[in-house]
Amino acid sequence: MSFPSMQFKTLSVLVSLLLAGALSTAPAMASYTEGAVSNGGSLKGSVKLSGSGANANIKVTKDQAACGDSVSNDTLVVGKGNTLANVIVEIQGISKGKKWDLPAKFTYDQKKCAFAPHVMIIRPKAEVEVKNSDSVKHNVHTISKGVFNVNKTVAPGKSLKVKKNKIKKSGTVKVVCDLHSWMGGWWIVAENPYIAMTDASGNFEIKDIPPGKYKVRLWQEKLGEQIQEVEIKGGAAATLNASMAAK
């Protein structure tokens, strides 16, 4: 069956309007809901490096009076027994559970020409103050896929303030200083409070997890990511010991 030209145009407009309305009223991505957790379990364990990959310090090429002659290379922090620090351990897919135990305000520092801490977990919509504690100028250049992107200079003793709600969604944000090429750090914007970072001994623990089967994402800036599966039972402690291979 064919439609007269005018009828076809009218039908096309109506279809377009209906689709536009459907898209505009479509529900947004579900956010995390805080509440009480009944008979929650826990997950603890450790992460180690498979192979070798110790980092040498990075030679400073400018502003040595403020920065020193070298800075620590924290892209791969390996401890005794090949333990790995700064590995993100994140339980995925939990939309309702315990209250956020991450603060609503964070401070990130540029000190001795390095970002401190090197890796920082933050919650969505948090306020962040990026300080410059050095006697030289820095800039804050964040790189992400739509999480939070900015590129601004920060004078000595000053700070860049990120207002509440500017960081609207979870994801990974790389932070660099274009004035000092060796400077780099990371913001991990959490999907939910069920996230941890391994300590200097490679250990982590996450508590008050609703019972169920989950996928756990492990991420390390140099080694990439891997997905593990765990089952959390009420009132019990599950264990996840993992290894990540150098590439």
> How confident is the model at residue 24, as a pLDDT?
32
Q: Is the pLDDT of residue 103 over 60?
A: yes
Residue 49 in tokens: 């490096």
pLDDT value at 119 more than 60 = yes
What pLDDT is attached to residue 28? 34
Task: Tell how strand 41-50 and strand 237-245 pair up.
Answer: parallel
The residue type of 219 is: W
Determine which of 11-25, 151-165, 185-199 has the lowest per-residue pLDDT on average: 11-25
**Dist CA 190 CA 106 (whole Å):** 14
Percent of the chain with pLDDT over 70: 87
Distances (CA, A) of 167 to 125, 129, 132, 142, 197: 5, 13, 21, 12, 20
145-164 burial: b if 16+ Cβ within 10 Å, else e = eebbebeeebeeeebbebee
Bridge partners, 240 (sequence order): 45
User: What is the residue type of 42?
Assistant: S
The pLDDT assigned to 246 comes to 78
Averaged pLDDT for residues 183-204: 98
Distances (CA, A) of 104 to 62, 64, 120, 128: 35, 35, 13, 9
Q: Average pLDDT in the 73-93 region?
A: 96
Distance between CA 196 and CA 69 in Å, rounded? 33
Q: Name the least confident of 15-29, 55-69, 144-158.
A: 15-29
Peptide bond into 117 cis (omega under 30): yes
Instruction: Work out the average pLDDT over 46-67.
Output: 91
